[in-house]
Structure 1
């Protein structure tokens, strides 16, 4: 007998008359108390009016009155999440999923709650559960991609992005999330197309994301213009939009060297109590500002906060590494014997001209600058930082051969197959034009030197070196996304041990396998850039070396650069970062004895001045 009342309420709601719908439902419930449909419509109307605080008790009464209905618990969880009442929201979602465990909508919403709570690994599992249950659900794929990227699994993040034919029908908020996912895996042109589509650029969140994309691709004037446009609408910004806008302001202020503005933005982010990754980002920004203002104590305080957050995030993903003394870079302890290195000479292997040029070195040693120098030359093409050789190692181990010890057991056919895997992975990200040679820059390919020399024994390899203390400090100040690197950088001592283990692996295998290597010291490159350009040119047989010297202009034109130094390689060469560690020497003192053997090998002085 309540059907006419329900129909009137539905009509008001569907026409967007939420105030009238809320008032009507409240009055109708006075006449027919306990009607669940009217109560649900009342709560939904209150939600659409932004009155979550008033909607919550209505949903709570429905769920407690009819606990067997999962939708009531899910609705309660959603509104409590929006109110920031995370513990009760999680309990509500658990009740919903106990009653309907295969409901992908519940799983996705629960995953979003877990993201807000900073439990990124748990969120990833819920999104992946939804993908498994409904492989065609674009929403689940998008959020799973975002969560996998946050957990350091960029390969899976890229694979989870839904196919383009599903994009057109997505609602605006999912198109924006998809644009972010595309941006994170380097598909920036497609991300820009999504954000520039009719109806997208006018929304505040769409404007902010497009500005973030422009900043990330070094299109700074466009980013500033969009930021001004977003500021004009800031009065309507929700909490997350405020955080995103402040992050954008901080990034652009840092480029302008307006440290006061950047600090104010980062401190405002922390005051808004963002999710944990955003809080860590803000602390890294504040540490960077303090470093530039020559305040190492404040910088280290912010870094300690940031790394404490990162360690907890990583512990959820890789507890076996975080809660032990295990080496995060596991392969660094797997050294070949002389007999195992007998594969070095392979008559079937490609020539140097038909092999990639590999750039390796511990992270933050100047590898991105070297990559952009070569990419600026028309003969070379880089593909940004990719784990291409790691895919070859995975294929090798899937066939029952342990890396690196079983490399000498691979026959010519197996090596050809792995080379095919390598080039297949390359083809996914870059199409080499006739006459172009690939530049494969991945710092930790230094730990894949045996694989490089099994597949491409004639390849030219450039090893980037930098003062060990400057490397450690730069890594410690870096906002890495890889869980293994979050653990590795959790303390300067642990970072020093991993650095030494990686370097000892390289030193051992360089002596054993004798690769064709050019060693380039960062200090020499920034100290006498023309001389090092000549060395690189001579090593690679480059005649026209002017292109190499103009790399910063090329990097600015290139747009997207995946590495953390994307905003630095567009600047001219300078020596500001040489000896940066000295003001931080009291924090680095416990790491110096650990570093000493490697520093001695490369001739670096660890004297504190």
Structure 2
């Protein structure tokens, strides 16, 4: 080839690339006829080159002719089977047609062919989020952002994935970055609102939900998150208005309706009751998870109306479905509890005492779910020296970071290898987690219920920590669990036998820690708190080392915002109507009472067997 021929070829290549870039701009702007005209001109001139078939296929698919578009893209791939761009674009087309498994295959091929192709990593991560494979999704989405910092979808999907693996602070951070890329992104505002709500930053969650609604008044999911944020902030009427606006509107209508029903008491003339009844008429058209949600909402509504047999039947059906979807591994649960007791032996406690972190004096409010932990946390939140942390994940996270402790618990190293310094590090990890939540006070309340499992470890890691075990009448407590739709977050609550088993393990834990670290733990009965709250709180505060402050009884005015199944209740004055509530359902509780017999009175057992 002569020099002039080479120059002409290079000029033609540049011109072709310019036309391709112009075609891409037309497609991105929705000017599809203009793009098609240019494409057909190039195909006529150069023939059916793989890249041209690819672009024409995209153009046809974007014009609505998906079948023909897919055919042309596949023809292009036959001629260039290693082209990562064609694999990535075909994956997008398949994903849009709800063929997710096929789409993921092509995304994976694109990533393997071009490891530095940021969009391919982003698309693969987004598809994995849809498949709920969040751990793998995070890896690809983080890589996509590392390669191309301006990918809006990668940031937004990463925020969703972080939220789903309980990394809420990270979710908030990456979603703010998404909004820095596009401040008008409705999806980013919606997901940021959800992440902020989970991070218990309800005022800001409300702001972003409202911003999404400003940008798109039909953004139904934004109304759901707005209702959640308003409800947790105690703005019940506004929350109900937001939730009612989208109740019955797919895809968030049923979650919004359920939230509304759990937010306030259902009456015969409540508009949500009419919407619920329509859902119940067409249950067979719903997926299993949605059916379970509808049954739990119906149980709550009919309980409010005093129709207890009907309510129980819906709770039973909801739990039956949820039990299938989210099985509970009782053997693993019992083994874990037994191992924690064996590990934190009296010998280990004695050997490893005397160190730990003293900069912080956490108040751990633990117990079975629905045992009064939220009420106690709200009361502590009114004390001027206490900052309420809510359900902090700091202790589980600290355990995860404590490598040697985990090795010992998994019996990979002998317990004798654990030293007081290991517990000091555990305390440091916990304090780092608390401080990362913006909590700087000396006294902090932590109401993660399951922390009762770690009481002995907590005592060694933080010598100033105090641990409350909330107790409630077992039938009231466990029935309340059975009546809540916890889903995968608490799978034991769907079955009477499993509820009884977990209660028995909790009781063993309480009794064990009371013997091993008696000066660090205290049992608090929910019924005593509701009967004589002042006497109880005076005694508890004195035990913790805090002066009496009457404001703790004014907990319904707490500025502490809550995410809890009982959020409507914690905004009311202390009441006793939840005491002995189980008696409304006594005829249905024989299967629960029997394995709990040693914890119940003869009178209680007789009522359940009547």
Q: Where on the TM-score scale, by shorter chain, does this alignment land: which range?
A: 0.7 to 0.9
| 1:579 to 1:201, Cα distance in 2 relative to 1, 3 A | farther
Is the partner of 2:181 in helix, strand or coil?
A: coil
CA distance, structure 2, for counterparts of residue 464 and residue 262 of structure 1: 37
Residue in 2 aligned with 1:158?
169
| 1:25 to 1:158, Cα distance in 2 relative to 1, 3 A | same
The reply to whether residue 300 of structure 1 matches residue 300 of structure 2 is: no
| Cα deviation digits, residues 32-57 of structure 1 (max 9, x gap) | 895766665566556666x4xx3244
User: CA shift at 1:551, angstroms?
Assistant: 0.9
Is the partner of 1:565 in helix, strand or coil?
A: coil
Size of the alignment, in residue pairs? Answer: 569
CA distance, structure 1, for counterparts of residue 195 and residue 28 of structure 2: 32
| 1:285 to 1:114, Cα distance in 2 relative to 1, 3 A | farther
CA contact (8 A) 1:195 1:210 kept: yes
CA contact (8 A) 1:356 1:439 kept: yes
Residue in 2 aligned with 1:263?
276
CA distance, structure 1, for counterparts of residue 52 and residue 281 of structure 2: 41
Of 403, 421, 426, 2:429 maps to 421
| 1:443 to 1:243, Cα distance in 2 relative to 1, 3 A | same
CA distance, structure 1, for counterparts of residue 313 and residue 504 of structure 2: 26
CA contact (8 A) 1:144 1:157 kept: no
The reply to whether residue 494 of structure 1 matches residue 485 of structure 2 is: no
Residue in 2 aligned with 1:553?
557
CA contact (8 A) 1:373 1:550 kept: yes
CA contact (8 A) 2:453 2:509 kept: yes
The reply to whether residue 450 of structure 1 matches residue 456 of structure 2 is: yes
| Cα deviation digits, residues 485-532 of structure 1 (max 9, x gap) | 33x345332232222123202212211221344432223333444554
CA distance, structure 2, for counterparts of residue 106 and residue 512 of structure 1: 55
Is the partner of 2:445 in helix, strand or coil?
A: strand
| Cα deviation digits, residues 421-452 of structure 1 (max 9, x gap) | 3322221113345xx62222221221111122
Of 292, 301, 322, 1:289 maps to 301
Residue in 2 aligned with 1:338?
346
Of 437, 445, 451, 1:439 maps to 445
Q: Unaligned 5+ residue runs, structure 1?
A: 312-320
CA distance, structure 2, for counterparts of residue 475 and residue 14 of structure 1: 51
| Cα deviation digits, residues 373-426 of structure 1 (max 9, x gap) | 110222321111113233443454436873599888766655544433332222
| 1:572 to 1:270, Cα distance in 2 relative to 1, 3 A | farther
* TM-score using structure 1 length: 0.76
Residue in 2 aligned with 1:128?
139
The reply to whether residue 244 of structure 1 matches residue 241 of structure 2 is: no
CA distance, structure 1, for counterparts of residue 52 and residue 417 of structure 2: 72
Higher Cα radius of gyration:
2
Residue in 2 aligned with 1:62?
73
Of 451, 467, 474, 1:468 maps to 474
Residue in 2 aligned with 1:317?
none
The reply to whether residue 563 of structure 1 matches residue 569 of structure 2 is: no
Residue in 2 aligned with 1:575?
576
Shifted more, 170-179 versus 375-384: the winner is 170-179
Residue in 1 aligned with 2:235?
219
| Cα deviation digits, residues 241-287 of structure 1 (max 9, x gap) | 8322553344235434235146258659978857x766654554344
CA distance, structure 2, for counterparts of residue 466 and residue 62 of structure 1: 64
Q: RMSD of the TM alignment (CA)?
A: 4.4
CA distance, structure 2, for counterparts of residue 398 and residue 333 of structure 1: 15
CA distance, structure 1, for counterparts of residue 181 and residue 565 of structure 2: 34
| 1:472 to 1:262, Cα distance in 2 relative to 1, 3 A | farther
CA distance, structure 2, for counterparts of residue 349 and residue 81 of structure 1: 51
Bigger relative contact order, structure 1 or 2 (CA pairs below 8 A, ≥6 apart): 1
Of 174, 184, 190, 2:188 maps to 174
Shifted more, 90-99 versus 242-251: the winner is 90-99
Shifted more, 173-182 versus 528-537: the winner is 528-537
| 1:196 to 1:500, Cα distance in 2 relative to 1, 3 A | same
CA contact (8 A) 1:308 1:490 kept: no
| 1:458 to 1:126, Cα distance in 2 relative to 1, 3 A | closer
Residue in 2 aligned with 1:309?
325
CA distance, structure 2, for counterparts of residue 544 and residue 262 of structure 1: 48
CA distance, structure 2, for counterparts of residue 106 and residue 7 of structure 1: 19
Is the partner of 1:453 in helix, strand or coil?
A: helix
User: CA shift at 1:573, angstroms?
Assistant: 2.9
| 1:513 to 1:535, Cα distance in 2 relative to 1, 3 A | closer
CA distance, structure 2, for counterparts of residue 185 and residue 218 of structure 1: 17
CA contact (8 A) 1:243 1:269 kept: no
| 1:189 to 1:300, Cα distance in 2 relative to 1, 3 A | same
CA distance, structure 2, for counterparts of residue 252 and residue 448 of structure 1: 35
